C-alpha cells in the first residue's frame, strides 16, 4: 500500500469528482457489509460529528453523511 500514489489534482472540479467517487464507494461498502453493521458505522460517525468543535466542519460532515444515508436507502 505504501507504493501507491493517491495524489489529488489541485483543480476544484476534479477534486469534487473524486469526493463524489469516495461517497459512492463508502455507500457501496456499507451496502456490502449488511444493515446492522452499516447502521453501527453511521451511528459512530454521527457521534463523532457531534463531538467536533469546528461547526463548519461538522456541517460539512453531517451533509456528507446525509447524502450517504440517502444513497444507502435507495
**pTM for this entry:** 0.79
Average pLDDT taken over every residue of the chain: 91
Residue 4: per-residue pLDDT? 78
C-beta of residue 23 within 8 angstroms of C-beta of residue 67: yes
State whether the Cα torsion 39-59-55-8 is positive or negative.
positive
Distance CA 42, CA 17 (A): 23
Confidence of residue 2 (pLDDT cuts 50, 70, 90): low
Amino acid at each position: 500500500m505504501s507504493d501507491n500514489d493517491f495524489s489529488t489534482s489541485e483543480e476544484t472540479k476534479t477534486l469534487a469528482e473524486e469526493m463524489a467517487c469516495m461517497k459512492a464507494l463508502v455507500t457501496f461498502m456499507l451496502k456490502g457489509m449488511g444493515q446492522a453493521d452499516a447502521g453501527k458505522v453511521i451511528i459512530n460517525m454521527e457521534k463523532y460529528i457531534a463531538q467536533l468543535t469546528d461547526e463548519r466542519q461538522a456541517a460539512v460532515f453531517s451533509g456528507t453523511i446525509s447524502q450517504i444515508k440517502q444513497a444507502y436507502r435507495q
